[in-house]
């Protein structure tokens, strides 16, 4: 396992590609959580900010797979259910 202090590696980019065939949402999210810290390290080193991170190709691939895996419920239905449950 890589540490958050080593910055982005070729393996991080390959993992983002490999995640496109993943079927386990929690695994994808945990993997994304690990790499996002390294993306922020790179952003800070380059003097970049949130927009740069949000549009990073690794972020795009991970977010695409997260959206695909969690897309079984319509956004508006999910939002409605969460609003209802938040009131309980």
Per-residue pLDDT of 4-23, as tens digits, reads 446 899 999 999 999 999 99
**Is 3 within a domain?**
no
CA distance 88 to 68: 29
List CB contacts of 49: < 8 A, sequence separation 6 or more: 43
Contact 65, 28 (CB under 8 A): yes
**Is 1 within a domain?**
no
**Is 5 within a domain?**
no
Q: Which two tokens stand for residue 9?
A: 């590696």
CA distance 33 to 24: 14
- Domain of 21, in residue numbers: 10-86
Name the band, by pLDDT with cuts 50, 70 and 90, for residue 3. Answer: very low
Question: How many domains are there within the chain?
Answer: 1
**Is 45 within a domain?**
yes
Length of the chain: 88
pTM: 0.84
CA dihedral 84, 86, 23, 10 (to 10 degrees): 140
| Mean pLDDT on 67-79 | 92
**Is 2 within a domain?**
no
């Amino acid at each position: 396992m890589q540490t958050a202090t080593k910055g982005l590696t070729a393996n991080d980019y390959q993992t983002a590609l490999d995640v496109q065939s993943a079927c386990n949402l929690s695994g994808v999210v945990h993997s994304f959580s690990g790499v996002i810290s390294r993306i922020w390290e790179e952003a800070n080193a380059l003097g970049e900010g949130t927009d740069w991170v949000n549009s990073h190709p690794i972020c795009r691939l991970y977010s695409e797979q997260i959206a695909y895996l969690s897309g079984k419920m319509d956004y508006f239905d999910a939002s409605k259910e969460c609003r209802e449950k938040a009131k309980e």
